[in-house]
Amino acid sequence: MKTHQKQAPPLSPEQVAQWENDGYLLLQGVIPESLISGVRDRFAHVVDGIIRTLKENGTIEDEGLELPFETRLAHVAGAHASRFGRSWRGEIATSEIFELHHAPLLVDAIGQLTGTDVIGHPVFNARPKLPGQQLTVVPWHQDSGYFGTVSENSLIPTAWIPLVPVDASNGCLQVVAGSHRLGVVEHHTEEREGRFLEVMDTLVEDSRVVTCPMALGDALLFHNLTLHRSLPHTTSGVIRWAIDIRYLRDEDHPGTIYWKDRNFKWVIRSQTQPVTPLAQWLEMW
């Protein structure tokens, strides 16, 4: 007689409770090495283009071709790197980022937390944080601060994935546990170089601030209402490379997508809807 073994859910009851109570969850070792190296290669390609542009317009002499991915942009482009922006999206909308959204253990976890088909969200960013760079120090905010109050009842989990090991000295994230219960709070545009949206410090309960050091292969999940920020990069040398991708509970509002009018939906895992193939996803960009 054939028996059907019930598959154990990917997240333990304790992990689900932590997500529900605290609005964030650190998943260790869920991103395969092959996906990380694919994304690193893609970013290295973008860095190559930046450095070639700087060389062609006479800003730099030495292209640093022998330097590793972790340091090349900082060593070669240094002070000029900020002019290429604080986060990249169009440049990295490629098969590697599509595949990263499909990392099986991540997709399992997202499916369990949303309780629906796994839907991709259109907003993702690659963020090189250079040593000492102010432009990329992201202040306290909720992602729904950007997506607007239409997203207040939506579930838009972010997976923040570092491409180098991170800790408090090189710009890891901090979250405020339980802040996802606050609703969308008021944000204003910061005075600093980044001009990011920021919430007043008075809304941040110090005793609930959690610093999140992470290893390669980890993903930090946080709710669209969870207050979070990234710390300054105070060491020298290695750039803090990270990527943030997002998912959406099926049928929820994705929020006001401020950078483009593209409320498109793409399906990552479903029993009932056709999943979006790579070619179609690439066309969305």
Ligand X SMILES: O=C(O)CCC(=O)C(=O)O
CB of 165 closer than 8 Å to CB of 214: yes
CB of residue 57 vs ligand X: minimum separation in angstroms? 28
User: Shortest distance, CB of residue 141 to ligand X, whole angstroms?
Assistant: 7
Buried b (16+ CB within 10 A) or exposed e, 180-201: bebebbebeebeeebebbbbee
Q: Which member of 244, 252, 254, 276 binds ligand X (CB under 6 A)?
A: 244
- Pick 11 or 123: Cβ nearer ligand X: 123
State in angstroms the smallest separation of the CB of 138 from ligand X.
4
Positive or negative: CA dihedral 65, 69, 73, 74: negative
Best CA proximity match to 139, nearest among 198, 87, 82, 70: 198
d(CA 46, CA 50): 6
**Per-residue x/- track, 10-49, ligand X (CB under 6 A):** ----------------------------------------
54 vs 129 by CB, closer to ligand X: 129
Taking the least distance from each CB to ligand X, the nearer of 54 and 130 is: 130
Taking CB under 6 A as the criterion, the residue among 22, 108, 117, 143 binding ligand X is 143
User: Exposed, middle or buried, 14 (CB in 10 Å: 0-12/13-18/19+)?
Assistant: exposed
Which residue in 248, 231, 39, 233 sits closest to 143, CA to CA? 248
One of 158, 170, 226, 276 touching ligand X (CB under 6 A): 158
CB of 143: closest distance to ligand X in angstroms? 5
Q: How far is the CB of 130 from ligand X (least distance, A)?
A: 12
Contact characters 197-236, ligand X, x per CB under 6 A:
-------------------------------x-x------
Residue 142 found at the interface with ligand X (CB under 6 A): no
The residue (of 63 and 91) whose beta carbon lies closer to ligand X is 91
Give yes or no for residue 86 binding ligand X (CB under 6 A): no
Of the residues 101, 127, 187, 233, which one makes contact with ligand X according to CB under 6 A: 127
Q: Least distance to ligand X from the beta carbon of 86, Å?
A: 9
Distance CA 269, CA 65 (A): 40
Nearer to ligand X, 172 or 268 (CB): 172
| 138 binds ligand X, rule: CB under 6 A | yes
Q: What DSSP designation does 259 have?
A: T
Q: In what order do the strands lie in the sheet with 209-212?
A: 209-212, 173-176, 228-230
Close Cβ partners of 168 (under 8 Å, ≥ 6 residues apart): 211, 213, 231
Categorise residue 195: left if φ over 0, alpha if ψ from -120 to 50, beta otherwise. left
Greatest C-alpha distance within the chain: 74
Q: Which residues bind ligand X (CB under 6 A)?
A: 127, 129, 138, 143, 158, 160, 228, 230, 242, 244
